[in-house]
Structure 1
Amino acid sequence: MINKFLRFRYHESIVVTLNEESSPHVAPMGVEYSEPYLILRPYRSSKTYTNLVLRPMLSLNFTHDARYFFKAIFKQEEIDFEFSGLERPPVIRGNFDLYVEGRAKLLDSADDRAVFLVTAEKVYEGLGSKLALSRANNALLEALVYYTKIAALVSKGDKEIPEYLNLLRINLNLVRKLGNLELVEMANTIESKLSELLGGRLR
């Protein structure tokens, strides 16, 4: 079933892990599919990395709807979970195409981004994204991807940040041009949060 959905090598997901108090933590993250494995590369400074080292179980939640990725970053209190066991991370309720519950094995942690190999233990379809192709939706997701990259690198002053900022601006402008009011408001929130993150240097 994974082959049916993850045909293009890299796909965006929302990863759910459990912290040491067994509370769920969500984080948007790209997933590489290399049959039969899924590969995650979280930053070692992230909570996802810490949680997976402590508890290797996780769930991967796949959807086309960028609004869920926005909530995962800025409004986690609005995410509704469905639990299947005390020691297993929940999945996210909503319009998701595919759920993968599995176990992660740490392969490499020498660089800023660790490498985990995920073995799928349970794979099943969700309700579906129920969303036709939308450039505004895709652009919002791209903007969120660059926001998370910048947030992870800003404290180190990484040389790639100016390029990421430019790409983020391009995608925010596309959302404002083609999106409805809901998506435009999300784009404005991203810009506001990024401005706070960079100390007002976003122009």
Structure 2
Amino acid sequence: MARLKAKIHEVIVTTKNADGSAHHAPMGISEVNGYFQIKPFKPSTTYNNLMRHRACSINYTDDVRVYAGALTGHRQWPASSCKKIDGLYLTDALSHSEITVQDVDDDDPRACFYGVVVHEQQHGLFRGYNRAQSAVIEAAILVSRLSMLPEQKIRDEINYLTIGMEKTAGEREWEAWGWLMEKVKQAGINVE
């Protein structure tokens, strides 16, 4: 019998900085046994904020610029106050979940924060990702691992993802893609 793996969902985790501002970070989270598992790397702003504040919001958005922006220095996205926690959520999210942290495994290089949902709210309809939106998210994951992956793998993946971009990208997707490709070029990887 095959062992079932926890499904990982790519979301935007919003934590509260010490100064009260929002920190939006793309992250793969899992839901296991009634808990959201949030696993930030150490050190990171998300880790520090969760250790200090023990609450966050999980944001579901189809604006892939937020994913790309977090990796390329475009981090300023409007945030609104949560309803049930002292926290913030991504204002333009299609929906968000408000989470309180119940337990922490403070392992290296990633901690695992176990959170429970205390409130959820829908703000708009999710109509699914087109190929370009999926390509931007996949490219953002590649960019987050530029120092860990072989250059040829990065080139091969980006070449494949470019097909979806050329077929279905709109303005927002091309803007996000441009930010990511600039980061790849800064790493000295030629993808043209």
What TM-score do the two structures reach when normalised by structure 1? 0.77
CA contact (8 A) 1:102 1:119 kept: yes
Deviation per residue, 1:83-110 (Å, 9 max, x gap): 147x7221111251x3111112453233
1:114 aligned residue (111, 115, 126): 111
Deviation per residue, 1:62-96 (Å, 9 max, x gap): 1233233234444222x1111147x7221111251
For the residue of structure 2 that corresponds to 1:88, the secondary structure is coil
Deviation per residue, 1:28-51 (Å, 9 max, x gap): 111101141111111112110111
Higher helix share: 1
Equivalent pairs counted in the alignment come to 183
Does 1:176 find its partner at 2:169? Answer: no
CA contact (8 A) 1:172 1:187 kept: no
**Identity over aligned residues, as a percent?**
22
**Which runs of no fewer than 5 residues in structure 2 stay unpaired?**
1-5
CA contact (8 A) 1:136 1:183 kept: yes
Q: CA deviation at 1:139?
A: 0.8
**Which runs of no fewer than 5 residues in structure 1 stay unpaired?**
1-7
Q: Could you tell me how far apart the structure 1 residues matched to 2:103 and 2:166 are?
A: 40
CA contact (8 A) 2:69 2:179 kept: no
Change in CA separation of 1:139 and 1:114 when aligned onto 2, cut-off 3 Å? same
What TM-score do the two structures reach when normalised by structure 2? 0.81
Map of 1:185-196 to 2, 5 A cutoff? 185-196=175-186
Change in CA separation of 1:66 and 1:106 when aligned onto 2, cut-off 3 Å? same
1:144 aligned residue (140, 143, 148): 140
More contact order relative to length (CA 8 Å, sep ≥ 6): 2
Q: 2:86 is matched with which residue? A: 88
